[in-house]
Structure 1
Amino acid sequence: MVEHYVSKSDVAYPDDLTLLKKVYDRICVERCWAEGSPEAAELAVVAMDVFRRGIFEEDALYRELRKSDRRGA
């Protein structure tokens, strides 16, 4: 089991942002959402929330973002 820690500083470093963007882009492509669309903007907010909750591993981020996506298929 992967242990996660909660970001107490709300700081996302460049590597964190790269990972978040990779997962964000993957879901947007799967859903055919244009960057800047309302759906993509909501996904970005959720991605940062997931990060703040301490989920930093790519597969876990992907699962959480897909699970939290209320507009997706």
Structure 2
Amino acid sequence: MNRGKRKGYPTIGDRVWIGINSAIVGKVTIGDDVLIAPNSFVNVDIPSHSVVFGNPCIIKHRDWATEGYVNNIAD
């Protein structure tokens, strides 16, 4: 699974909330303001302003996805 074009490690953007027991596998990019629900399996790039859930992951666009989840942001 972590071979070929996916060999490497994830790049995680700003204001990302990752739920418990989630797996982010390989060389994928997680954009800014992304909420990854608990027990999700992420093996594809996730655009900014998204909510991700499931296995395989389902991606839904949502402005301010992490509002109420990410606090104490240092600007």
The TM-score normalised by the length of structure 1 is 0.27
**Structure with greater strand share of residues:** 2
The TM-score normalised by the length of structure 2 is 0.27
